[in-house]
């Protein structure tokens, strides 16, 4: 087994054309490929190849255990134009924040297993060449997680249940977006790679992922709450999960002489259709004769059996299809051993896929998109205990576009007895 330190990226460039917003991934998967600026589609030769390029599993000799992790923090801020609308309290007084400009809100998450605000993203993989029983064949199994940041807290410390009745605490400008979110997406996977010729390796990966996520958003609790009176808002908390998310990928590497290696990788989209429950809490000025409750089972889109305390909810989204191609040049010592390398990769991420989520097509749609969250809550409005209408299905459009990247990375290997450190 070889010991590897965290490598040093030598360069990174990414472009998103005329995007409203680019992608949301950090390049690479694990410490080595990430520290190479994601330029590893040709060089991956340990457990990180499970996600970076499964053809790299063919380079396994014996049994190899890879435990790797990336630390990531998502620096996100939101600035809303304008100022708070003038709102009068029930006793005729005004609120001290009336007319003041909106503050800039910064993401302030508290990952439960994080290091401060930094979240470790693990890669844990075992690979094996089958002891040479099938020449050229190697297999691997383990898990990884996408290089994205699964936590958000844009609430500025505002607690809707605690603060909604006060007259002094300003609600955050982000309250009609996602206030808080905690997610855990793990991608347990198996892979196999085969050396077709001494110079050509191919590989494939199958993944059965699982997701749990909890999201809070504030919405109008009273129709036409155009002055955005927080007392007339309600907060929804959705707690959903998807226990089986099938996806996969294929890859290949080809060697040209001892020093040049070419790699290519394609990954399928990760289609998430999570189901669970949603609960709501109404502001004190909402019409108490109008309450939110479950739709009749015959109208349920997510699942039957919702109650007044918990309605059924489902959220559909997608992580994008991706493709990479890269070339690697290896520096060799006098014995032909690799002592360093440099790699240039080109990549594409399909963030710009769109679903037709207009009013005529959103209900019952099975389409998913990386830039659109489809939210269905099997809730409806009750007036004097009589069901009157269902809540509308909602789609949050992030305005993302496809991204194209050029990544340059490399490494140098420092011998350390029977082991080595890669820098």
pLDDT, tens digit (0-9, with 9 covering 90-100), for 225-247: 888 999 999 898 999 999 999 99
Contact predicate 316/272, CB 8 Å: yes
Beta-bridge mates of residue 195: 201
Nearest to 365 by CA among 354, 357, 353, 375: 357
Q: What are phi and psi of 307, to 5 degrees?
A: -125, 175
* Cα-based distances in Å from 103 to 84, 155, 166, 218, 226: 10, 12, 19, 18, 20
Quick one: pLDDT band at residue 113, thresholds 50, 70, 90? confident
For residue 220 the two structure tokens come to: 């109008």
Burial class (CB in 10 A: 0-12, 13-18, 19+), 222: middle
Quick one: pLDDT band at residue 318, thresholds 50, 70, 90? very high
pLDDT of residue 202: 98
pLDDT of residue 65: 96
Mean pLDDT of 265-287: 93
**pLDDT at position 3 over 50:** no
* Cα-based distances in Å from 338 to 14, 52, 218, 260, 415: 29, 20, 56, 11, 11
Does 20 or 134 have the greater pLDDT score?
134
Outline where 109-256 has alpha helix (H). Answer: 160-163
Least confident piece of the model among 121-125, 300-304, 413-417: 413-417
Q: What is the pLDDT of residues 173-230, one digit of tens each?
A: 999 888 999 999 999 999 999 999 999 999 999 999 999 999 898 888 887 888 899 9
Least confident piece of the model among 43-47, 69-73, 103-107, 123-127: 69-73
Nearest to 303 by CA among 378, 213, 380: 378
pLDDT of residue 19: 36
Average pLDDT for the chain: 88
Beta-bridge mates of residue 77: 106
* Sign of the dihedral through C-alpha 337, 199, 13, 66: negative
pLDDT of residue 23: 60
Give the predicted TM-score (pTM) of the model.
0.84
Taking the C-alpha atoms of residue 347 and residue 244, their distance in angstroms, rounded to an integer, is 27
For residue 158 the two structure tokens come to: 């505002």
Of all residues in the chain, the percent with pLDDT exceeding 90 is: 58
Taking the C-alpha atoms of residue 194 and residue 94, their distance in angstroms, rounded to an integer, is 72
**pLDDT at position 352 over 70:** yes
Q: What is the pLDDT of residues 46-99, one digit of tens each?
A: 999 999 999 999 999 999 999 998 888 878 888 999 999 999 888 888 899 999
Q: Which of 159-163, 260-264, 277-281 is modeled with the greatest confidence? A: 260-264
Contact predicate 274/213, CB 8 Å: yes
Quick one: pLDDT band at residue 9, thresholds 50, 70, 90? very low
pLDDT of residue 359: 65
For residue 323 the two structure tokens come to: 């493709």
What is residue 298's three-state secondary structure?
Answer: helix
């Amino acid at each position: 087994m070889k010991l590897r330190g965290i490598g040093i990226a030598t360069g990174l460039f990414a472009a998103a054309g005329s995007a409203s917003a680019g992608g949301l991934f950090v390049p690479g998967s694990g410490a080595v490929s990430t520290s190479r600026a994601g330029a590893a589609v040709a060089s991956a030769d340990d457990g990180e190849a499970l996600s970076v390029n499964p053809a790299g599993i063919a380079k396994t000799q014996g049994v190899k255990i890879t435990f790797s992790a990336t630390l990531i923090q998502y620096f996100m801020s939101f600035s809303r134009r304008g100022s708070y609308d003038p709102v009068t309290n029930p006793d005729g007084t005004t609120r001290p924040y009336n007319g003041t400009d909106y503050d800039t809100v910064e993401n302030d998450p508290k990952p439960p297993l994080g290091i401060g605000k930094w979240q470790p993203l693990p890669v844990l993989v075992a690979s094996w060449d089958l002891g040479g029983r099938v020449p050229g064949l190697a297999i691997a199994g383990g898990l990884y997680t996408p290089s994205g940041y699964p936590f958000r807290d844009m609430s500025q410390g505002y607690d809707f249940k605690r603060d909604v009745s006060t007259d002094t605490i300003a609600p955050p400008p982000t309250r009609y977006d996602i206030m808080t979110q905690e997610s855990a997406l793990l991608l347990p996977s198996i892979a196999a790679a085969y050396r077709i010729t001494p110079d050509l390796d191919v590989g494939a990966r199958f993944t059965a992922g699982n997701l749990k996520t909890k999201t809070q958003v504030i919405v109008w609790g009273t129709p036409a709450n155009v002055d955005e009176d927080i007392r007339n808002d309600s907060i929804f908390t959705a707690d959903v999960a998807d226990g089986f998310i099938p996806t996969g990928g294929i890859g290949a590497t080809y060697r040209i002489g001892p020093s040049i290696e070419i790699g290519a990788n394609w990954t399928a989209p990760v289609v998430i259709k999570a189901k669970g429950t949603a609960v709501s809490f109404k502001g004190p000025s909402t019409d108490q004769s109008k309450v939110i409750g479950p739709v009749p089972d015959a109208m349920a889109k997510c699942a039957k059996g919702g109650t007044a305390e918990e309605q059924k909810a489902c959220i559909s989204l997608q992580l994008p299809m991706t493709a990479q191609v890269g070339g690697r040049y290896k520096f060799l010592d006098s014995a032909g051993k690799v002592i360093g390398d440099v790699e240039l990769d080109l990549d594409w991420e399909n963030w710009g896929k769109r679903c037709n989520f207009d009013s005529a097509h959103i209900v019952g749609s099975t389409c998913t998109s990386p830039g659109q969250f489809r939210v269905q809550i099997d809730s409806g409005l009750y007036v004097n205990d009589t069901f009157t209408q269902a809540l509308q299905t909602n789609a949050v459009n992030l305005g993302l576009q496809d991204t194209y990247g050029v990544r340059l990375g490399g490494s140098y290997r420092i011998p350390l007895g029977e082991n080595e450190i890669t820098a």
